[in-house]
Amino acid sequence: MSRAVEETPPLYAGPVKRSMTIAGHTTSISLEPVFWRALEDSARAADLPLSALVARIDAERIQQIEPPNLASALRCWLLVRAG
């Protein structure tokens, strides 16, 4: 299905859980569909698989003195990138 005809995710939908492998371990991440779409778009723009982009953000997250949970870090990364 082409990008132009895909449905826009609902703005106020609840979180959707996905599992992916990051740095050799499987983890589950719960994000709202609009955030999944934004991450997918960002990964596509960077020519990376989604899991590689998430791994990159995770690596930045764990370097913080008090790292937030991964879902929070992903949302913040997207917000900063959008601003």
Which H helix or E strand runs over 55?
helix 50-61
Provide the number of structural domains found in the chain: 1
Q: What is the pLDDT of residues 17-69, one digit of tens each?
A: 999 999 899 999 999 999 999 999 999 999 999 999 999 999 999 999 999 99
Cβ burial, residue 77 (10 Å; 0-12/13-18/19+) = buried
Distant-in-sequence, close-in-space partners of 25: CB < 8 Å, separation ≥ 6: none
Segments forming the whole domain that contains residue 33: 3-82
Instruction: Give the CATH number of the domain where residue 78 resides.
Output: 1.10.3990.20
Among 74, 60, 83, smallest CA distance to 15 is for 74
Statement: residue 5 has pLDDT above 70: no
pLDDT computed for residue 27 by the predictor = 95
Radius of gyration, CA atoms only, the chain:
13
What global pTM score does this model have? 0.87
